[in-house]
Amino acid sequence: MFPFFQGVVDAACPSSVLRRELALLHASLHAKTAECAALTSQVASLQVALSRRNDEYEEVVAALGQAQRVIRVFRTETDAYLDAVESSRRAIKRLEADLQVQHALNLEAKISRMSLELQMIRHRNETDEVIHGLEAQLRMAHDQVNMCERREAHAEEVEADALHARVLRYLNDAPRSSWTSTVNTDEDIMSDDDEDDDSDDEATEVLPIVVRPRSASACEPSRQRSSSMKKLLASLRHSSPSTRHQLSQAFYRRFKMTRAAKCNIHVRIFEKNGVSRWRLSHAMTPCTRAQIV
């Protein structure tokens, strides 16, 4: 009920209402003034904060500029590094290509060298087989030649012994009337015998004695002898026993040396790479030489 009566009283007395409104206005004015002071102080603090924020902003802007400069330098260095890396990569690729080409060339050279070595080994094996075959054939031919040489030597020794015995039989059995010789002929024969002895000592020449075989016994007076045999027997007949023995031995040696001239064999042996090779000439038939060649 009090607010109702207060309104009635205010309506009955207007001055009191005005005073009340004025008091309210004063109170609101004081409140607004205090609020304005508070706002002023707040604005001042905000200005201080703004100035501080501006300083911080300027510092941040300066830091950002410095960071941008650092970033630009870093980008420049990064670009240079990337260019160097790219050039290094290209150089590495080029080196890899060169290495591949060199490796391919080395492999090709190695393969060609190995193929050449294989061809040389094959050729060496074929050559060794041919050489072994030739050596076998040459050994057989050499054995045959040695056998023929031994046979000829044996036959010549037998013939020389027979000739020596025949000469002795001529000396012992032939009559003196069958000899026709002179002193000059004897001297010529003796000089010839001396020269023959010198040639036998030097072994440089071989002079065979021509003796024809006898058709009858050694005691036939009508036997037709050769002139060389007559000269031989005449010289032996008119010489001393020691000279006769020396001459007979010289003729015997001379006759034995003729076998070296009958078999013309040339054998050469030389070493090459540990392989013995033989060359045999003038001792085989033409067909055998053709097979070996």
Q: Report pLDDT digits (tens) over 151-170.
A: 888 888 888 888 888 888 77
Burial class (CB in 10 A: 0-12, 13-18, 19+), 254: buried
pLDDT tier, 204 (very low <50, low <70, confident <90, very high otherwise): very low
- Residue found under tokens 């070996």: 292
% the chain with pLDDT above 90: 27
**Residue 207 neighbours by CB under 8 Å, 6+ apart:** 196, 199, 254
pLDDT of residue 11: 57
Task: Choose among 231, 246, 217: nearest CA to 178.
Answer: 231
pLDDT of residue 111: 93
Query: Between helices 14-173 and 2-12, what is the axis angle to 10°?
Result: 120
pLDDT of residue 10: 56
pLDDT of residue 271: 40
User: Under a CB-based contact definition with an 8 Å cutoff, are residues 292 and 137 in contact?
Assistant: yes
Give the residue, 291 or 166, on which the prediction is more confident.
Answer: 166
DSSP H/E element including 2: helix 2-12
| DSSP code per residue over 196-214 | HHHHHHHT--------PPP
- Tell me the mean pLDDT in the region 54-59: 92
List pLDDT tens digits, range 230-281. Answer: 565 566 556 666 666 666 666 656 655 554 444 444 333 434 444 344 443 4
Task: Measure the CA–CA gap between 237 and 176, rounded to whole angstroms.
Answer: 8
Burial class (CB in 10 A: 0-12, 13-18, 19+), 176: exposed
Name the average pLDDT for the chain.
70
pLDDT of residue 244: 60
Query: Between helices 183-202 and 241-256, what is the axis angle to 10°?
Result: 50
Range scoring the smallest mean pLDDT among 23-37, 45-59, 146-160, 276-290: 276-290
58: its two tokens: 């300027």
Range scoring the smallest mean pLDDT among 32-41, 45-54, 239-248: 239-248
pLDDT tier, 43 (very low <50, low <70, confident <90, very high otherwise): very high
Give the residue, 177 or 54, on which the prediction is more confident.
Answer: 54
Q: How far is CA 242 from the centre of its chain?
A: 72
DSSP H/E element including 150: helix 14-173
Task: Measure the CA–CA gap between 260 and 289, rounded to whole angstroms.
Answer: 22
**Residue 234 neighbours by CB under 8 Å, 6+ apart:** 179, 180, 181, 185, 186, 189
**Residue 167 neighbours by CB under 8 Å, 6+ apart:** 232, 233, 236, 248, 251
Q: Is the pLDDT of residue 97 over 70?
A: yes
pLDDT of residue 132: 85
pLDDT of residue 290: 43
Three-class SS state of 246? helix
DSSP H/E element including 174: none
pLDDT of residue 182: 39
**Residue 72 neighbours by CB under 8 Å, 6+ apart:** none
Q: Is the pLDDT of residue 112 over 50?
A: yes
pLDDT tier, 76 (very low <50, low <70, confident <90, very high otherwise): very high
Task: Choose among 97, 122, 116: nearest CA to 108.
Answer: 116
- Tell me the mean pLDDT in the region 186-206: 46
Give me the residue spans of the domains in the chain: 134-213+224-292
